[in-house]
Structure 1
């Protein structure tokens, strides 16, 4: 017995020695289980049998970790906020390193998900740390929910966001955030601004395949977290492209849907090879007939990322492009025209499109949008030390975009809609008239006379023009021509950012941002519709000593370009007509950002300054001369401050405040199709204050925020392709206030609930001023007009939005769900010029904008994921949007009240013209003369995705 006791004691001593001296070494890779992204910053801990933390480390940039322990047995815990913690038990008594392989963490849907980036040149929100309102979509969410919508429509489920398909064309959607139009939003691809600096517009069509190549899209509402000085007013949308070292594998994707919708995509990534190189490729093709009549489209996308990661350096080279063309519905349509269109009932035919017709028996759309503007990015991240990173980013783009438009007119048909018996454009009538043949319309015969050397020459205007000697050189008959408004875009720039940790929990970012942009704007002729030629330059014609100089006689020896129905067929080398100018914008900015974490407080402060140099260069169309304005310098600056306080692990509160002085866009400074400078331009001023509260638990995620934003000195140019900016409305001041709430809950394991609430109060805080830029007879400008808009509601988006959704997992990987969104307190958004009592009359000018009917839209889906093995899987999904086929008005740009005079029955000789109410011209409680676009009815698509 005693001998056995000694043997037992010796065994325990030996085990004790092994446990105290043997090194347990482990290594592995930690990644997201859905997107296979490296989870930089995840915590890896070695726990003793009593759950005490013995050792701890964090996951590196590439997702790898190494950790060791003297313990011979215990558990390894891998955790990260937003993911379910994974625990691995171990028992060993040898010094060999155990490779745990790739450890995939499961996303906890209830917890706010941080966007993972490894470069300091991209600014993203960190949950419970960055004091900014934000919402994030990961790639798997985008591919599941996008259906056959425009990718920008996915943001409509975020609080404070409203999206509209506008006319219904592919890529034509617009977004409104907290009551601000999308020209006040800053879209960024990998931290690079991609909005139009000339006109301030956002071209979503040319990045329509972003959902295929982005790892995540984060919408930061309000001030945003971007360090760049060209800050947003409404928010910042950061679209983050996948890196080259995306996990090895790929997918094939096929989708079909309503109205001939088809999409195919394929992608493959090599993963990071042993030599440090990696590559990632994607190709996709999308086409369809469009929900609205004659809005067929064709779009492609390509993406290539090449990477090299070795030692302290990470190189990424990315190219993304999305060539596309699509037919559009652009022209205004009154509600009464919808109601009596096509179906013979007193109900709206929401698919009606007046922008197409038949020419010689073939369908012909006169509104076509096209473009291809590829973007190239080179990024070098150098991790100088554990505390310092230098990020260098160079980028550039060169491409073309445009859209077709009618120019000119028909003598005697001014103000008439040239529509046939089916309410489509009567292109055969236009063709007959342009060529000098008798053309009958509405029982009246129209016929033009030759206007130059026996020929029928089209020009942009009706009117009598004379040369320097006062001799007429054209009749007041311009004919109708289809032209393309062309933008040839070139931009290139760079961002240099230094991030360093000055002390424990104190970090500093310093950077410079430089960019040069050139927009060449011109027009080319697509179709003369039977005419002999087109005047090459109407403006130079007025000063030409020889009238014949200003005609471009496009005879059989000089063929016109084909109508643009395909971006591969457009002839962009055709002769420019009407105008040809460069908008040149050079930009240089610098910024600083400091972050300090102390106790439970997170402090953030940013500031920056930029200077823009803008210049306009006008090119003559009849000789080689040009006229340049010289550079005009305009400064901008911003400052932001925010604080977050984590009360407990579940509760946090935050606040931010800031101001922005934003230079006006190019077309506001250079008004008109000439080099004249708008004398009234000013920097826009933006101030914001916001507070918020967050709650996090395993079963509930809640975000509540309240904001107040003032936007002063905004200016809107009034533009036509023929006249340029003929007027401008300035002094547009507004106050946008509101509250936003979003909740995600998981009451039981298989159910995920979510809801949002947005309540806004958006009003104009003062009257505005309209200035006619056309000089009077003595060369001066006329007196400005006061536009009475003070206290009027701002239209374009519902000021009350609420949504509720649910996902239910019936059995493993089989899920169905639905989302309901209610919208109310939405007002029309007419041009502010209509509030001029001197021009429109006092009764009309003082009317408030029309309140549109409320509406509710329900979407639904069902999906199943079939796992073939650990790597391979097949995803099947059916999406049905607007499940109940609800008919609703998505926007209106006019504001007739029920008691306004109905123009359709107006008689200038009568003293008592009837109103819309008198005529019964009413649609769902609003006047039938109001222009409007409807939301799309029921649409669907079915997708199959194979992952390998």
Structure 2
């Protein structure tokens, strides 16, 4: 690392001092407005042609930019014609040019198809809470951070690094986790269709991002299945990309390296445009053993066929592998201090990885590793039918292939030994004196066994084939009303299997734990009895699971917009049908492999209004109701990994939300404030546990649990509600032409808001009268002598009223200063505050009690934290190329703070477990050459 840094610095110094940088600079000013109504164009990109310099217009459409004499600047805005202006000096002594008012005209033939613009909100027009992140901001602030972390200074946003591996970060919006935040690229949904989650390691598109927009709350996205907490939409480069390109190299802490290039042809005279990007990122990782390697490729080919038709083909992918710190390998606070005292020799204990260790020949080993590639290809067609109507269609496909490690064991204790910790306590079964995981001892254990490997490693394959179609018809009624109507079709097949990849020194592995649940009544393979259970498996054989999950969604949506003078309003609605089914090859034979198909009709209705009181003041409001299908995992199929049994109590989740907002926009100061209220009703919540946890000591007569189709018992909770409300403020101040001050403050009150009850189920059947059936002897009943406590047999109840929602800071604040010290040097410092962050709500199998009432208290409140981030850049010329050297130092003062935790039994710091600390000080430097 040190040698690489010396080489980089020497190269940089040689570059700087070997080129002429004393070029005449000119300060260019102007205002960008809409040619139709003279409204300021907020967030329009103003860039120097052939150079990386650029700014965005403020809330009045004004901009100030330092450029070389005789440069050409380009003004672009999505859905409007580009404008280029030559900077011409009236005489040689001038050092400033005022371009005056620059009017942008709507471009009916730009790539503004609905798959993009349906998810774009416009300030002082769209009545939603929105924040837009520009490419210039991303380039200056991102550094070595994960892409979601660029949002941490946005109101209502909380970003965490998870276990700390490459791409393992997560983002929460208004207290809602990623599965309830719609993630889109060019308007195309990215959330997993079985459980809603997002893996950011699959998306590293910062170098080709044209706009990164967050809509909090209901948002304005025109899709048939909206999100609960908000939406994040990444817009990539396309036909508007300027001719030119760049190459760059960056390096940072812990062996971080990144090389990248991008090139764009610009729009040719024959209507063709192409953008291409490639990059490689690799490093050792901040966390012990969390090395990684990632590649990104991006291609966009666009063709303006004629005045009525335009095609755009976009393809991208980010194949990667990275070693991880298991998300369950967080410790207690006392556990981290023990690590600091016993193992780390003065280094930060929070880099410690409890599952990092070495094999018998000294090779580095990990029990947590992720390998994935999820390329996506989309074909977009825009048909301008006439001067009022257009049809925009996007056809897309995503083929995901990859896996994560999954340790296997002959018993549950053997499986748990793959983890570095258990509920915050360090697992000492395989632990060396230096704190590393003793993988060599697993080899010794397996080699000494006379019945094959006691422990083995498998890869948990989670691949998918995903196809979709988004098509929207747009027309105008009269002068003031715009209508949008369209269809949203999605087909998804998830392929899930576990395959042995390493026997760790053993000759074979017997999967007796999961195979004992394969019954003759469901699977002909079980007819062989013990020969199936005791089959000697080799590398490549399947263990634990082998099934496909299917999701099909068909939806229609419509929206009407009214825009006249100071008023902008919209009303929209959508209806969708979501179908789920499973096909299980492991626990069922062909006659029983396919589950029943479950259909859920979802719908939503929302509307909003924005009123521009004056040129500086505006107010807005929105309100909506959503009825959304439950997720397949944990909602429709309670034991989704191993059973076709359908949850008989599955119902749609409902959301009611309204919001009020106010904006002030002037040349020197801009501020937005909004208040929101979101009621979440019938949230999906279920937990499972071993059936013996219930029946031991409660059975009226002997029984054989191995004869049950599933030894897993499930509580499916109903009536789980939550209330999220809060206030958000953000502002931008420009007291001096060279200084910009940014800030935000948000405070939320997020609580569970119900007493929930649940049914105790085995094999998908409610246990009525506390009785279950033995699967081999269908007529034989096993009676549970459960204490009733006034409740129906086979039920339990949770008192969640006013319990704080955990997992996200409910108070956040930020303050930043960005200064142009000279025409070539920019520096910035950002402060971020996270407070009232409660540990994640814990509802484990030990809480499941038949016929009982479980009363919860609010979880432990994590201490508040402050961090500071610094960036700096220096721009100069290298021959005919523009160059910039930039650097970032995140967590400048190396603040120690807890970012995430799970609540313990006493709701205090001593019992909180799975505690993770944020990263300490990190840094990077980067050289970028643009042509």
Task: Determine if the TM-score, normalized by the shorter chain, exceeds 0.5.
Answer: yes
CA drift of 1:104 comes to: 7.5
- In structure 2, relative to structure 1, the CA distance for the partners of 1:761 and 1:101 (3 Å cut) is closer
The one of 475, 486, 496 aligned to 2:471: 496
**How far is 1:409 from its partner?**
5.0
Aligned partners of 2:129, 2:477: CA distance in 1, in Å?
Answer: 27
Q: For 2:234 and 2:923, how far apart are their aligned partners in 1? A: 26
Distance in 1 (CA, whole Å) between partners of 2:429 and 2:86 is 63
CA contact (8 A) 2:33 2:40 kept: no
Q: CA deviation at 1:895?
A: 2.5
| Alpha-carbon distance in 2 for matches of 1:133, 1:107 | 33
Q: Distance in 2 between matches of 1:931 and 1:335?
A: 9
Q: Which residue of the partner structure matches residue 403 of structure 1?
A: 404
What is the match of residue 856 of structure 1?
A: 866
CA distance in 1, matches of 2:33, 2:136: 21
Match 1:339 to one of 334, 337, 340: 337
Q: Is 1:310 aligned to residue 319 of structure 2? A: no
**Match of residue 742 from structure 1:** 730
- 1:767 has 2:733 as partner: no
- The change in CA–CA distance for 1:81 and 1:195 in structure 2 (over 3 A counts) is same
* Residue aligned with 2:221, SS: coil
Distance 2:587 2:302 in 1: 46
Counterpart check, 1:651 vs 2:617: yes
- Sort the Cα spacing of 1:171 and 1:107 in 2 relative to 1 into closer, same or farther, 3 A: farther
**Aligned-pair distance for 1:81?**
5.8
Which of the residues 25, 30, 43 maps onto 2:35? 43
Among residues 720, 726, 729, which one is paired with 1:732 in the alignment?
720
Q: 2:367 corresponds to which residue?
A: 366
Partner Cα separation in structure 2 for residue 708 and residue 422 of structure 1: 51
- Does structure 2 retain, via aligned residues, the 8 Å contact 1:342–1:422? no
How many Å apart are 1:527 and its aligned residue?
1.5
2:665 aligns with 696
Distance in 1 (CA, whole Å) between partners of 2:575 and 2:772 is: 41
For the residues of structure 2 that align with 1:233 and 1:346, how far apart are their CA atoms? 44
Task: Kindly indicate whether residue 202 of structure 2 is the aligned counterpart of residue 206 of structure 1.
Answer: yes
Residue 624 of structure 1, CA deviation: 6.5
Please give the secondary structure, in 2, of the residue aligned with 1:616. strand
Kindly tell me: are residues 723 and 305 of structure 1, through their superposed partners in 2, closer, same or farther at Cα, counting changes over 3 Å? Answer: farther
1:424 CA drift (Å): 3.0
Does residue 1:891 correspond to 2:900, yes or no?
A: yes
Q: Encode CA deviations 1:288-326: one digit per residue, 9 max, x unaligned.
A: 111111111110010111111132211100101000111
Q: Which residue of 2 aligns with 1:686?
A: 655
Structure 1 position 670 matched with structure 2 position 637? yes
Q: CA deviation at 1:165?
A: 0.5
Tell me what 1:538 maps to.
515
1:616 is the counterpart of 2:608: no
Q: Which residue of 2 aligns with 1:394?
A: 395
Q: TM-score, normalised by structure 2?
A: 0.79
* Deviation string, structure 1 residues 504-552 (Cα, Å, up to 9, x no partner): 0210001011111100111111222222223467156553232334555
For the pair 1:599 / 2:591, whether they are aligned, the reply is no
Q: Deviations over 1:644-665 (max 9, x none)?
A: 0000111000000001000001
Shift, 1:723, TM fit: 7.7
CA contact (8 A) 1:317 1:376 kept: yes
- Deviation string 1:648-691 (CA, Å, 9 cap, x unpaired) is 11100000000100000111101211110011111000010100
2:925 is paired with a residue of what secondary structure?
Answer: strand
Q: What do residues 736-790 of structure 1 show as CA deviations (whole Å, max 9, x unaligned)?
A: 1100000100001110000000011111111233544336662399622212221
Q: 1:221-236 residue pairs with structure 2 within 5 A? A: 221-236=216-231
Q: What secondary structure, in the 3-state scheme, does the structure 2 residue paired with 1:892 have?
A: strand
Residues in 1 aligned to 2:849 and 2:617: alpha-carbon distance in whole angstroms: 56
Distance in 1, Cα, partners of 2:313 & 2:711 = 43
* Cα distance between partner residues in 2 of 1:636 and 1:269: 42
TM-score of the pair, normalised by structure 1: 0.78
CA distance in 1, matches of 2:201, 2:333: 27
Q: What is the rounded CA distance, in whole Å, between the counterparts of 1:107 and 1:293 in structure 2?
A: 54
Bigger RCO (CA 8 Å, 6+ sep) = 2
Match of 2:842 in 1: 831
Counterpart CA distance in 2 for 1:833 and 1:767 is 17
Q: What is aligned with 1:520?
A: 495
SS at match of 2:137: helix
- Contact 1:727-1:772 within 8 A present in 2 as well: yes
When structure 1 is superposed on structure 2, of 716-725 and 425-434 the one drifting more is 716-725
Give 1:727 shift.
4.1
State the Cα RMSD in Å.
Answer: 3.4
State the match for 2:430 in structure 1.
419
Match of 1:119 in 2: 113
8 Å CA contact 1:189–1:238 kept in 2: the answer is yes
Q: In the alignment, is residue 930 of structure 1 matched against residue 913 of structure 2? A: yes
Contact 1:289 1:296 in 2 (8 A): yes
Q: Distance in 1 between matches of 2:207 and 2:312?
A: 18
In the alignment, which of 822, 829, 836 is matched to residue 833 of structure 2?
822
Say if 1:823 and 1:856, in contact at 8 Å, map to a contact too: yes
Q: 2-side partners of 1:300 and 1:719: how far apart?
A: 38
Q: Which residue of 1 aligns with 2:745?
A: 757
640-649 or 175-184: bigger deviation: 175-184
Describe the SS at the equivalent of 1:332: coil
Distance 1:62 1:236, change over 3 A: closer
Decide whether the 8 Å contact of 2:358 with 2:365 is kept in 1. yes
Contact conserved, 1:305 with 1:317, CA < 8 A, in 2?
Answer: yes
Where structure 2 has 5 or more consecutive residues not aligned to the other structure, the ranges are: 1-30, 47-56, 66-81, 88-96, 417-421, 521-525, 691-709, 774-780, 785-792
Q: Does structure 2 conserve the Cα–Cα contact (< 8 Å) formed by 1:705 and 1:741?
A: yes
The 1:717–1:297 alpha-carbon spacing in structure 2 relative to 1, beyond 3 Å, is farther
Match of 1:31 in 2: none
Distance 1:886 1:390 in 2: 52
Number of residue pairs matched by the alignment? 786
**SS of the counterpart of 1:698?**
coil
**Aligned partners of 2:340 and 2:348 also within 8 Å:** no
The CA deviation at 1:834 is 7.5
1:417-457 superposed Cα distances (whole Å, 9 cap, x missing partner): 4231233322222222222x2xxxxxxxxxx5x3xxxx42x
- 3-state SS in 2 of match to 1:548: helix
Instruction: Give the superposition deviation at 1:581.
Output: 1.1
SS at match of 1:157: coil
Contact 2:500–2:543 (CA under 8 A) maintained in structure 1: yes
- Alignment of 1:432 onto 2:444: yes
Cα distance change, pair 412–80 in 1 and its aligned pair in 2 (3 A): closer
Alpha-carbon separation, structure 1, partners of 2:727 and 2:325: 35
Separation in 2, partners of 1:807, 1:848: 39
Which of residues 121, 142, 146 in structure 2 aligns to 1:146? 142
